[in-house]
Amino acid sequence: MTGQQTLYFNGPILTMDDQVPTVEAVLTQGERILDAGRESDLRNRMATDASEVDLLGRTMLPAFIDPHGHFPDPGFIQLFRVDLAAPPRGDCADMATALDRLRAKAAVTPKGDWVMGVLFDNTSIAERRMPTREELDSVSTEHPVWVLHASGHNGAANSYTLRTHGVDRDTPDPIGGRFGRDPETGALTGLIEGISAMGEMGDTDFLIDQARFWQGFDACRDEYLAHGVTYAQNAWASADLLSHFASLEAGADPGIDLMLLPTAELEPELTQGGGPVNWPQTRYFTLGPRKLFTDGAFQLQTAFLSAPYHKPSDPNAPCGLSYAERKDHMRDVRRLHEMGHQIHCHCNGDAASDMFLDAIEAALKATPRSDHRHTLIHGQVLRPDQLERIADLGVTISFFSAHIHFWGDRHHDTFLGPDRAARISPAASAGRLGIRYTIHNDASVTPTRPLHLAHCAVNRITSGGRVLGGEEKITIHAALKAQTIDAAWQVFQENERGSIVTGKLADFVVLSGNSLENPDEIQNNRVLCTIRRGKPAFQGASFPRQAD
- Strand runs (DSSP E) across 152-228, as ranges? 154-157, 178-181, 188-193
Q: Which DSSP symbol is given to 415? A: I
> CA–CA separation, 157 vs 33, rounded Å?
51
CATH superfamily of 5-62+501-539: Urease, subunit C, domain 1 (2.30.40.10)
Q: Cα–Cα distance between 416 and 284 in angstroms, integer?
A: 41
Any bridge partners for residue 155, and if so which? 148, 192
Asked whether residue 543 carries a pLDDT value surpassing 50, the answer given is: yes
Torsion angle of the four alpha carbons 512, 517, 521, 522, in this order, in degrees rounded to the nearest 10? 60
Cα–Cα nearest to 509, from 26, 172, 152 = 26
Amino acid at 266: L
Contact 430, 397 (CB under 8 A): yes
At 371-427, the pLDDT tens digits run 999 999 999 999 999 999 999 999 999 999 999 999 999 999 999 999 999 999 999
Q: Is the pLDDT of residue 181 over 60?
A: yes
Percent of all residues in the chain with a pLDDT value above 90, rounded to a whole number = 88
In this predicted structure, what is the pLDDT of residue 544?
60
Tens of pLDDT along 313-370?
A: 889 899 998 989 999 999 999 999 999 999 999 999 999 999 999 999 999 999 999 9
Q: How far apart are CA 29 and CA 533, in angstroms?
A: 10
Give 347's strand partners: 378
Secondary element (H or E) of residue 137: helix 133-139
- Listed in sequence order, the residues at least 6 apart from 489 whose beta carbon sits closer than 8 Å to its beta carbon are 373, 436, 498
Global confidence as pTM: 0.93
Angle value at C-alpha 73, between 256 and 131, nearest 5 degrees: 165
Taking residues 528-535, report their average pLDDT. 97
CA–CA separation, 90 and 75 (whole Å): 16
pLDDT in tens, 446-503: 999 999 999 999 999 999 999 999 999 999 999 999 999 999 999 999 999 999 999 9
- The pLDDT confidence band at residue 278, using thresholds 50, 70 and 90, is confident
Answer with the residue of higher pLDDT: 300 or 274: 300
Q: How many CB atoms lie within 10 A of CB 241?
A: 23
Q: Nearest-CA neighbor of 428 among 395, 476, 356, 495? A: 476
What does the CA dihedral 96, 101, 102, 105 come to, rounded to 10 degrees?
160
* pLDDT value of residue 547: 45
Please give the pLDDT value at position 548: 40
Q: What is the mean predicted confidence (pLDDT) over 196-207?
A: 89
Mean pLDDT taken over the chain: 94
Q: Which tens digits make up the pLDDT trace of 102-140?
A: 999 999 999 999 999 999 999 899 999 999 999 999 999
What is the DSSP track for 6-22? EEEEEEEEE---TTS-E
- Nearest CA to 314 out of 301, 329, 295 is that of 301
Rounded Cα–Cα distance for residues 86 and 92 (Å): 5
Query: How far apart are the C-alpha atoms of 441 and 449, rounded to whole Å?
Result: 7
Q: Which amino acid is at 521?
A: E
CB within 8 Å of 316: residues ≥ 6 apart? none
Q: What is the pLDDT of residue 273?
A: 84
> Residue 95 in 3-state DSSP?
helix
From the centroid of its chain, how far is CA 477? 21
**Cα–Cα nearest to 152, from 317, 341, 355, 346:** 346
As a whole number of angstroms, the distance between CA 24 and CA 28 comes to 14
Q: Residue 523: which pLDDT band, with cuts at 50, 70 and 90?
A: confident
Top CATH class of 212-490 equals: alpha beta
